[in-house]
Amino acid sequence: MWVMMTPIKTGEVFVPGKEPIYTYNPRETLNLEEKLRDYLDDGGSILVLLGPTKTGKTVLLDRVVDNPIWIDGQDVKSPENLWELIGNEIEAKLDTDVSESLSTTTSFSGKAKLLVTEGGGGTSDTDSQSFGSRYVSSIAPTVKDALLRAQRALVIDDFHFIDREVQKEIVRAVKPLVYRGLRSIFASITYRRHDVANAVEDMDGRMDLLETSAWSVQELIYIAQAGFRILNVEDSTGDLELNLAHMSFGSPHIMQQLCRDLVRTKNYIREARPTIQALVAPESWDEFFARAASDASRRWFTKLLRGPQEKGQKRTTWRLKGDGAGLDTYGLALKAMANCLPDLEITRDRIRVEIDNLVVGKPPEAHQVTRTLQYMSRIAATRLDNSQPSEDELDSRGENEDEFSGVQPVLEFIEDGPASTVHIADPFFAYYLKWGSASHFGNSN
């Protein structure tokens, strides 16, 4: 009997924010999958998977690590909280022979404790309870034992979101478990590479790094070409996919979104075509790209543009060439960075040159630009929903590096003399800076 197959939908092929099935790129030149499998075979250390945000670390782990115990770093508030999260995960998915030794409970919240006994188990409202011949005052020892028996890798994603003091306690607790055979993978953003090593002095031989990077234009084009083949659509010149890749700022997530928008929103193709269909370009690329700018990045942009709370006297503004709009040093710095995109690492000197080209008359002094970049970097290291900090608060934070834990800044200013550089760490912020920020700057070029 002949059965007509349902055509594959465009939203199933290009999948921003989800695991790609048809457009997955293993990035074979980096050997990431093979190196990750080698670690899973060998163990003996904590593996730190590093890479810029939104560049596929989570997808890589999903593809390679079989049935991990997966913990989101944003959920971890304390070491005890981590063991509760792991306990919930183990209990939900543990094999029968292990789960029989665990208590049955729906939650480890509050003071509930996981008790393992020789003759059965249970939970208690109190801090501790005696059952049979065993006494447990914390869930940590029990969960650690169950974690080792489960023989599943522990993955802590977004490790950089965890407070640094809590990170230290977690690394100290996990280190002996690794010695006993636990595979443990902490995924973090590139500039936080030293978090694990700094957490415990004696980490030599107990920590390995696996580092990924922002995607190249050719790696991003792979996504478009793979998806276009599945949908039976054609970019005959290659210009469309090249343009999308250049504007994805090294992020496969953005590339997936732009490909989906081009195929479905601009070309009205919602599912695979029965015959090859040529894709057409948008009438206005600027309007096409602007539609994909994210709201969260807009909020970050606005927060950085506002700068620290003013003490009463309004900041000096400079008149722009072109329409004569006025911007203070925060607006000038952001507009200068936008003019430097798609480069994501922009030296302070280049920003100053761009500012010089933007303003009428004498530009801001070098020390004003440096101070602005320092404050912007510190604002970016606060939480988005926090109130706007004052200059005094930012000065205080600059002296205390631990104030910067638990966040993922959209940009960071690294001071290194003449080589001082702004690193735009979030490709979504870079995208907004390029395509969503024009209305904040007036109509000047």
d(CA 361, CA 391): 27
User: Do residues 172 and 275 share a domain?
Assistant: no
Q: Contact 387/302 with Cβ under 8 angstroms?
A: no
Q: Does any domain span residue 316?
A: yes
d(CA 130, CA 137): 9
Q: Does any domain span residue 22?
A: no
Per-residue model confidence (pLDDT) at position 198: 61
Q: Contact 397/378 with Cβ under 8 angstroms?
A: yes
Per-residue model confidence (pLDDT) at position 347: 97
Per-residue model confidence (pLDDT) at position 383: 84
Q: Measured on CA atoms in the order 324, 329, 330, 336, is the torsion positive or negative? A: positive
Tokens matching residue 141 = 């020892």
Per-residue model confidence (pLDDT) at position 191: 58
d(CA 80, CA 255): 39
Q: Select from 225, 258, 290 the last residue of a domain.
A: 290
User: Do residues 340 and 220 share a domain?
Assistant: no
Per-residue model confidence (pLDDT) at position 310: 81
Q: Could you tell me the pTM of the whole model?
A: 0.81
User: Do residues 206 and 226 share a domain?
Assistant: no
- Amino acid, res. 434: K
Tokens matching residue 163 = 């407070």
User: Do residues 57 and 190 share a domain?
Assistant: yes
Per-residue model confidence (pLDDT) at position 123: 40
User: Do residues 278 and 316 share a domain?
Assistant: no
Among 6, 1, 7, smallest CA distance to 273 is for 7
Report the domain count for the chain.
3
Per-residue model confidence (pLDDT) at position 242: 97
Buried b (16+ CB within 10 A) or exposed e, 354-366: bbeebbeeebbee
**Angle between helix 329-340 and helix 348-358 axes, rounded to 10 deg:** 110
Domain that holds residue 280: 10-17+215-290
Q: Does any domain span residue 25?
A: no
Transcribe 249-312 into DSSP letters.
Answer: TT-HHHHHHHHHIIIIIIS---B--SS-EE----S-HHHHHHTT--HHHHHHHHHHHH-SBP-S
- Amino acid, res. 95: D
Buried b (16+ CB within 10 A) or exposed e, 245-262: bebbbbbbbbbbbbbbbb
d(CA 336, CA 338): 5
User: 326 in helix, strand or coil?
Assistant: strand
User: Do residues 242 and 389 share a domain?
Assistant: no
Mean pLDDT per block of 10 residues along the chain (445 residues) reads 72 94 95 96 94 90 95 93 92 48 42 37 37 49 92 94 89 93 91 58 73 94 98 97 96 96 96 96 94 88 93 86 87 96 94 96 95 95 87 74 64 92 93 90 55
User: Do residues 129 and 242 share a domain?
Assistant: no
Per-residue model confidence (pLDDT) at position 311: 77
